[in-house]
Amino acid sequence: MPTALELAHRLRESFGDALSAPFEFRGEVTLVVLDPSRIVQVCQEAKSGCGFDLLVDLTGVDNYGEDPRWTVVYELFGIAHGCHLRLKTSVSEEISEIPTVCKVWRGAEWHEREAYDMLGIRFQGHPDLRRILMWEGYPYFPLRKDFPLAGKPSEVPDVAFTKPAPLEGGPFVTVAGGADSIVREPRVRTPESQD
């Protein structure tokens, strides 16, 4: 059976400079797709040529303050060979759009809708790109780093909250500063220590 690293090298041979050299960290192998417009081709080859027949997850990362702002991450798994591979590609904030991989893995539809709903990344060619967690018409993207912890008021009465959610300073929010990470950890905070 091939290893994930061997399969990643095989995939890179098919695309050359369109992919980074594979790198391994803590037993996990990652390839970066340097041209996001080729993500569908790379995913199709990963599935048909390398046996990564399961899209485990697709998510976005907000690199707020950097360009490109978005990283789209594809977690792949091959049922027959038992290997895991991570693909990453970057999308600029100006474009905020990447081709859909729904035709490669049908399950990508829900993952892409969530990435759109929470971060605002659009997936070109998606058959039903609409919000999946927030209501239609909600003007914000809650997992963006510039979305305030206190939330934002809603303009849609009787649909959801019309006042900001009081998260700031809550029991699950870390505290900046402190002598060490234990002090900042929300699990160790009690109502008495929040004063």
Task: List pLDDT tens digits, range 120-139.
Answer: 999 999 999 999 998 888 88
Q: Is residue 111 part of a domain?
A: yes
Q: Cα separations (Å) of 42 from 18, 39, 66, 99, 114?
A: 9, 5, 25, 12, 22
Q: Is the pLDDT of residue 107 over 60?
A: yes
Residues shown for the chain: 195
Q: Provide the pLDDT confidence category of residue 183 given band limits of 50, 70 and 90.
A: low
What CATH number corresponds to the domain at position 122?
3.30.460.80
For the question of whether the overall pTM of this predicted structure is more than 0.85, the answer is no
The residue range of the domain holding 124 is: 4-143
Distance CA 149, CA 140 (A): 13
Q: Is the pLDDT of residue 194 over 60?
A: no
Looking at the 3D structure of the chain, how many domains does it have? 1
Distance CA 21, CA 124 (A): 27
Q: Could you tell me which of 91, 52, 50 has the C-alpha nearest to residue 75?
A: 52
Q: Is residue 178 part of a domain?
A: no
Q: What pLDDT score was predicted for residue 140? A: 87
Structure tokens at 123: 């997936």
* Bridging pattern class, strands 28-33 and 23-25: antiparallel
